[in-house]
Amino acid sequence: MMAVANRAWLTVASLAAPIWAFAQAPASIGTEERQSIEKQLIELREMRRDMVRRMQDWDERIAALETELQAALPESAAQRSPGAPVSTIGEPPTEGNVAQKDRWGAFEPGRGFVLARTELGEVDFSVFSYVRYLNQRALDHDYTDAFGRTTRLDLRNDIQFQKVTLNFKGWFIDPDFRYLFYTWTSNTSQGDPAQVVVAGNLSYTFNEHLSLAAGIGALPTTRSTNSTFPNWLKNDHRTIADEFFRGSYTTGVWASGTIVPGLRYRAMIGNNLSQLGVNAAQLDDSFNTASAAVWWMPTTGEYGPGAGLGDFEQHERPATLLGAHFTHSREDAQAQPGTEGFENSQLRLSDGTLIFSRDPFGTGGVIRKATYEMLALNSGVKYRGWSLEGEFYYRWLDDFLTVGPIPVSELTDYGFQVQGSTMLLPRRLQAYAAYSKIFGDYGEPWDVSVGVNWFPFERKETHFSVQALYLKDSPVGYSSVPFAVGGNGWVLSTDAIVNF
């Protein structure tokens, strides 16, 4: 890799030298000769721009492969991989093998800025944040649910400094002993429970097959809650089907690793489906939430950074993904998060009615406890800037503990989502479209969206997103996402994102 980089720089230097020489040409040369020089200058400058673009592409691909290698191998193994430079991420440096400038202050994709790198540990700092303009004024002002109850929607047309996430991560004493501490807030949720989250987790990697972690993490209920964020097509929100079926963040313990090359797993035991904004006194005295995922990448053994959506990396070979998720949770009405808490997860009927609300069916009965089980299956392919992703969901709700009568003993809902994208301009402009639908006894809502992502610096760390979203009786929504419960009509949003 160093040889490739050296040859690239020599090529750039060889191109730059004639340009400098031509720039020194005397003013007295003839018109034809000057025109010839100007033509060569134009050609050489274009060659140099192309070389710079190629080098940026190499850097991005190297960073993506390093990220995949880091995820697929234990930290110590990744550091000692053949050909790795002395200053590989996490390698405890010494005075004899690394220059001071390599020990702190460098930017490394996937980790952010290295604030400290010593024999005893590493501290990396990264940020995810964006400004959003949201216009919901084209939505219908009222919504009537499956039971004839009408709700007035609070429609928005505003600009918000939407979210700020500050991450501190790295290792301490042993490169296999890692930490993640973060502060996470959504400014649209100011005044609501869990408007600011200060959390994190600790982990230890035993080998490539087993890493154990404890703290706050996302249950791997669907692909979007299995460490793919923020590598999505839509900025910081999902399709309504994904939002309806998924779980969320909770406190627990989890294991992850590689079963065989290209086949990975993650399994978690947690307190409930969604704990942000729920205090310990609200939880029951049992561990009744378990979630697991396996995913296989058969053709290339990787699927881009975080196994996310879209092919910004321009795979030259088709990259494929197959995944399965299953989750079981015994949910208690007392342990539910607030409906406006960001990244919350609510159990709802397909018309948007909260099952733990007062008299959800209009029969005078109230549900105190329910069992949630959900299966999600997903697949995807990426090739030369194109991507196509799909996910199917099936959810069971049963074993109800009630006060008063309700008309059902179980509820089943299923649905799907499809998302596709293409890089209209490599590393510069991406277009995407998404569709999802939910099939339930109390309605069959759906949504469709089209959008573009513009990367002005030809890097993923900063981009602009514009999206048009059409909702048909959305059963989900809260203030930190573009959709609203009961939303029927068009929503427009524009985001300016920084993520490093």
Question: What's 393's domain CATH number?
Answer: 2.40.160.10
What pLDDT is recorded for position 104?
60
Quick one: 345 and 435 in the same domain? yes
Q: How would you write the chain as a 3-class SS string?
A: CHHHHHHHHHHHHHHHHHHHHHHCCCCCCCHHHHHHHHHHHHHHHHHHHHHHHHHHHHHHHHHHHHHHHHHHCCHHHHHCCCCCCCCCCCCCCCCCCCCHHHCCCCEECCCEEEEEEECCEEEEEEEEEEEEEEECCCCCCEEECCCCCEEECCCCEEEEEEEEEEEEEEEECEEEEEEEEEEEEEHHHCCCCCCEEEEEEEEEEEECCEEEEEEEEECCCCHHHCCCCCCCCCCCCCCHHHHHHCCCEEEEEEEEEEEECCEEEEEEEECCCCCCCCCHHHCCCCCCEEEEEEEECCCCCCCCHHHCCCCCCCCCCCEEEEEEEEEEEEEEHHHCCCCCCCCCCCCECCCCCECCCCCCCCCCCEEEEEEEEEEEEEEEEEECCEEEEEEEEEEEEEEEEEECCCCCCEEEEEEEEEEEEEEEECCCEEEEEEEEEEEECCECCEEEEEEEEECCCCCCCEEEEEEEEEEECCCCCCCCCCCCCCCCEEEEEEEEEEEC
Residues 339 and 482 reside in one and the same domain: yes
> 38, 55, 72: which is the final residue of a domain?
72
Tally of domains within the chain: 2
Domain membership flag for residue 111: no
My answer on whether 383 and 446 are in the same domain is yes
Residue 56's domain comprises 2-72
State residue 195's pLDDT score: 72
Q: pLDDT tens digits for the chain (500 residues)?
A: 444 344 444 343 443 444 344 344 444 456 677 667 777 777 777 776 667 566 666 666 666 666 556 555 444 333 333 333 333 333 333 343 344 444 567 888 888 999 999 999 999 999 999 999 999 999 999 999 999 999 999 999 999 999 999 999 999 999 999 999 999 888 877 666 667 889 999 999 999 999 999 999 999 999 999 999 999 999 999 999 999 999 999 999 999 999 999 999 999 999 999 988 888 888 887 889 999 999 999 999 999 999 999 999 999 999 999 999 999 999 999 878 877 777 888 999 999 999 999 999 999 999 999 999 999 999 999 999 999 999 999 999 999 999 999 999 999 999 999 999 999 999 999 999 999 999 999 999 999 999 999 999 999 999 999 999 999 999 999 988 999 999 999 999 999 999 99
| Domain match, 176 and 64 both | no
63 shares its domain with 138: no
Q: Is the domain of 485 the same as that of 365? A: yes
The pLDDT value recorded for residue 415 is 98
Same domain for 195 and 251? yes
Specify whether 380 is located in the same domain as 459. yes
The pLDDT score that the predictor gives to residue 120 is: 94
In a domain, 37, yes or no: yes
- For residues 33 and 163, state if they share a domain: no
Residue 182 lies in a domain: yes
- Give a yes or no: residue 102 inside a domain: no
Task: Please report whether residue 463 resides in a domain.
Answer: yes
Domain limit, last residue, from 46, 72, 98: 72
If asked whether residues 470 and 366 sit together in one domain, one would say: yes
Partnered with residue 324 across adjacent β-strands are 294, 377
- Choose the final residue of a domain: 37, 55, 72: 72
In a domain, 460, yes or no: yes
Residue 486 to residue 145: CA distance in whole angstroms: 8
Q: Are residues 494 and 358 in the same domain?
A: yes
417 located within any domain: yes
Q: Are residues 142 and 50 in the same domain?
A: no
> Per DSSP, what are the bridge partners of residue 184?
165, 197
Contact 126, 111 (CB under 8 A): yes
Residue 268 forms part of a structural domain: yes
